[in-house]
Structure 1
């Protein structure tokens, strides 16, 4: 009987240590919605390019600028949705949304992301467009891996998948659009669904 009590105490201590060192209120539903936003954005951009540019993205035209706006809108909606749903989940679990752990999570996530974003802007300004999609996937994957030690470990696997897809995209730039849609769209939906049933439904 005493050994069972000791094991229970150890499990509770381990659980408390995990909660204190990791931000675990990330919402799986936000991942699903981010994937849906990305697929809608990709479908819209594909329609614009095939309808008005005959399959060629005019890099100095309104189609290209519109695609950039769509990309920014997808990122904005994904961030806002993640904040809203994660805040709601944290309140439901009686957890703080902004503490030292969540600050470390955001800090470690943003370092590779901002670095990658600035680098992509630099190469776009130099009219080197071919690797932009691959770099988005790679730096986003690095951001997820970097942040995973302060959150749910499953995020690391999504990050590694994004990095692999980015490398494939760099090797086969002609499939960049489809790999981007797979990485930011389909994989987010798959990951979000997995996280939703694994953690949110508990």
Structure 2
């Protein structure tokens, strides 16, 4: 009996340490909505912004600036939604949304992401446009994997999927738009749905 109590105490301590070292309030619904935002943004870009047949999307073109603005809007909307939903879930679970674990998570997420963003801008300034979609997917995937050790769930598998689809995209850059759509749109919706179902069960 004492041995069982001792093992249970060790398990409780381990769970407490795991909870204190991992950010656990990420919302699955925010992943679903981020994917929907990406799909809507891609639809708007494809129908209204992208150049017609025979035209090119250059760095200083009006279409390119509109595309960047649309990407920024999708990013801001996704981050804002994630923050609001995650804050609500943290309050429900009586957790602190901003602590040393959150800071470590953000730092580990932003280092690959910002590095990738700077590298993409350098490539665009050199008029190398073909691998933009694949680089976005790869660096985003690396950022997710790098930050995954500070949160629970299988978010690292989302990162692996983004890296793989980014590498495939690099081999077929002419289909970059569709790979971007798959990685940032469909993959987020699928992963977010699994997380949301798991949250509802718990």
| TM-score, normalised with respect to structure 2 | 0.93
The answer for the alignment partner of 1:54 in structure 2 is: 53
Q: Give, in whole Å, the separation in 1 of the partners of 2:200 and 2:173.
A: 37
| TM-score, normalised with respect to structure 1 | 0.93
Q: Give, in whole Å, the separation in 2 of the partners of 1:68 and 1:179.
A: 18
The answer for the alignment partner of 2:65 in structure 1 is: 65
Task: Look up the SS of the partner of 1:82 in the other structure.
Answer: helix
Unaligned runs of 5+ in 2: none
Assess if the C-alpha contact under 8 Å between 1:53 and 1:63 holds in 2. Answer: no
Q: Give, in whole Å, the separation in 2 of the partners of 1:173 and 1:89.
A: 39
Assess if the C-alpha contact under 8 Å between 2:49 and 2:66 holds in 1. Answer: no
Q: Give, in whole Å, the separation in 2 of the partners of 1:55 and 1:4.
A: 73
Following TM superposition, by how much is the alpha carbon of 1:17 offset from its aligned partner in structure 2, in angstroms? Answer: 1.3
Assess if the C-alpha contact under 8 Å between 1:24 and 1:152 holds in 2. Answer: yes
Unaligned runs of 5+ in 1: none
Q: Give, in whole Å, the separation in 1 of the partners of 2:13 and 2:138.
A: 36
- Count, aligned residues: 201
Following TM superposition, by how much is the alpha carbon of 1:118 offset from its aligned partner in structure 2, in angstroms? Answer: 0.7
Q: Give, in whole Å, the separation in 1 of the partners of 2:54 and 2:200.
A: 41
Distance 1:191 1:56, change over 3 A: farther
Moved over 3 A (4+): 1-8, 54-57
Bigger shift: residues 150-159 or 55-64: 55-64
Distance 1:201 1:81, change over 3 A: farther
Following TM superposition, by how much is the alpha carbon of 1:126 offset from its aligned partner in structure 2, in angstroms? Answer: 1.3
Assess if the C-alpha contact under 8 Å between 1:49 and 1:57 holds in 2. Answer: no
